[in-house]
Amino acid sequence: MEKEEDAQDDLTKDYYTPDYDIMVGKSSSSEQYGILGKVSANKKTIALDISETNTISLFGVQGGGKSYTIGTITEMVLKQFSHINKLPAPLAGVIFHYSESMDYEPEFTSMIYPNNKADELKKLKDEFGANPESLDDVILLTPKDKIEERKEQYPSIEIHPIAFHSKELNVQDWMFLLGAIGNDSVYIKQLKAIMKSVRNNITLQALRNNISASQLLSNTQKILAEQRLQFASEYINDEMMLRNLLHPGRLIIVDLRDEFIAKDEALGLFVVMLNIFSGIKNIDDKPFNKFIVFDEAHKYMDNKDLTNSIVTAIREMRHKGVSIMIASQDPLSLPNEIIELSSIVLLHKFNSPQWVKHIQKSITQLGALTPADLSCLAPGEGYLWATKSTDKGVMSRPIKIFTRPRVTKHGGETVKAL
């Protein structure tokens, strides 16, 4: 017993609760929060509420600090760091990553290592009083055909296949997996009718049997329907439950890079996983919240039928204890409805006047910003606005800030020969 108490003392003796001047995401003080950065003009410290749910929109060109900020926020919702956050109840984290380029790796696998950049560490210590640390629990999910390749790329990370148990899927999830959302093809209509007939126990085998026996489908249509089932079958494994992988304090990186997965299929898989993960409310009867990131969202969110489901999901997230971050280099590719639902917006550098106008259509409080304001931002600088804050100024207009240095290491893990 004494050893257990000593171990707990070791974990807490060097911990210091961070001070802050401005809270965003909540209009009062919070029992759970993390330091986001400081106001550029007066160096007031900004804290982000982690106790309630928020929808965060994060925009900026490549190199402007967008991915870095994702890491800054993600690390402080998962693990408690001295001078950085107050986190009695860690969240579970999920980052969705998709690219048609196999070379564009997720930049968050390196969070298992502490930050090792000398200039960042000096600023982290001098301005925030913090030291570098690492995350303890990071796993990566990938299509089963990519498992061995990802194990070679990330030897220090646990790799799992993307797979769902049939019982984890509702009718809408099956629709996404079968490409039936927004598809009015005759064979899809019949496929929906078949799903309706077995709605209380949808399985791959039941669908196959009914397709084969259908007299309303031609042989060609049966082949098309079977192709849809074949795609779904790659992600259904009744020997495992995806929900069992989600834990408070754990980061799940969903790496959906695969030459044979189209962007609509990728978004469909992401929505299914979002539905499963967001539906988990507790583990061992202990409730916990979730933090889910759609990284590089412009690469797969331009299908209106599919993004409508994202909008619906965002509207329901508050009741499910889920905060969502949508990060993009191209705001024009995102529907205004998604931006309108944002409770926090952070704009890093970008140059396009059209981008500014698109965002201002959704959030009138950003109306005073000009393209010139955003084009001259240095990496890590940004304009912050929130619907809730202890500083009413942040709610009425965006304020210029700089984000704090990371505690964990930024950038993909590189395997070296020596």
Q: What is the pLDDT of residues 328-371, one digit of tens each?
A: 999 998 888 889 999 999 999 999 999 999 999 999 999 999 99
201: three-class secondary structure by DSSP:
helix
Q: What pLDDT is attached to residue 12? A: 54
Give the pLDDT band of residue 104 (cuts 50, 70, 90).
Answer: confident
Question: Residue 3 pLDDT > 50, yes or no?
Answer: no
Tokens of 73: 């926020």
CA distance 105 to 236: 25
The residue behind tokens 């995806």 is 242
| pLDDT at 76 > cutoff 90 | yes
- 255, 150 contact by CB (below 8 A): yes
For domain 2-163+240-403, the CATH architecture is 3-Layer(aba) Sandwich (3.40)
* Assigned token pair, 165: 């148990």
Q: Let me know: does 408 contact 133? Beta carbons within 8 Å.
A: yes
Report yes or no: 294 and 326 within 8 Å, Cβ to Cβ: yes
How far is Cα 38 from Cα 210, in angstroms, rounded to an integer?
60
Answer yes or no: are the C-beta atoms of 82 and 14 closer than 8 Å: yes
The secondary element (H helix, E strand) that includes residue 59 is: strand 55-59
Burial class (CB in 10 A: 0-12, 13-18, 19+), 263: middle
Of 316, 311, 94, 275, the C-alpha closest to 172 is: 275
Show me where the domains of the chain are located.
2-163+240-403, 166-233
Q: For 352-355, which contacts have Cβ atoms below 8 Å and span 24 or more sequence positions?
A: 355/59, 355/330, 355/331
pLDDT at 368: 92
Alpha helices (H) along 79-213:
118-128, 147-153, 171-177, 186-197, 204-213
Residues 6+ apart with CB under 8 A from 163: 144, 235, 236, 237, 240, 242
Per residue in 11-20, pLDDT tens? 456 899 999 9
